[in-house]
Amino acid sequence: MASRNTRPGPNPGLKQLGSTTPLPSAPGEAVLERVANPHPRKLYLARFTAPEFTSLCPITGQPDFAHLVIDYAPARWLVESKSLKLYLASYRNHGAFHEDCTLEIAGRLAGFVRPRWLRIAGYWYPRGGMPIDVFWQSGRPPAGLWIPDTGVPAYRGRG
The pLDDT tens digits for 56-83 are 999 999 999 999 999 999 999 999 999 9
Task: Please state, for a pLDDT cut of 90, what percent of the chain lies above it.
Answer: 75
Which 3 state secondary structure label does DSSP give 35? Answer: strand
Fold of the CATH domain 3-137? GTP Cyclohydrolase I, domain 2 (3.30.1130)
Please write the tens of the pLDDT for every residue from 86-112: 999 999 999 999 999 999 999 999 999
Domain assignments of the chain as residue spans, ordered by start: 3-137
Handedness of CA 64, 109, 72, 15 (dihedral sign): negative
CA distance 117 to 132: 24
Handedness of CA 59, 69, 150, 5 (dihedral sign): positive
63 contacts 39 by C-beta, under 8 angstroms: no
Strand partners, 46: 72
The DSSP-derived string for 73-125 is E-SSEEE-HHHHHHHHHGGGG-B--HHHHHHHHHHHHHHHH--SEEEEEEEEE
Q: How does the average pLDDT of the chain come out, rounded?
A: 90
Between residues 126 and 49, which one has the greater pLDDT? Answer: 49
Read off φ and ψ for residue 52, nearest 5 degrees: -125, 40
As annotated, the active-site residues are 57, 64
CA distance 110 to 117: 8
**Region 41-49 average pLDDT:** 98
Please say if the pLDDT value at position 3 is more than 80: no
**Region 4-32 average pLDDT:** 75
Q: For 153, which DSSP code?
A: P
CA distance 119 to 2: 22
**Global pTM value:** 0.88
Please say if the pLDDT value at position 5 is more than 60: no
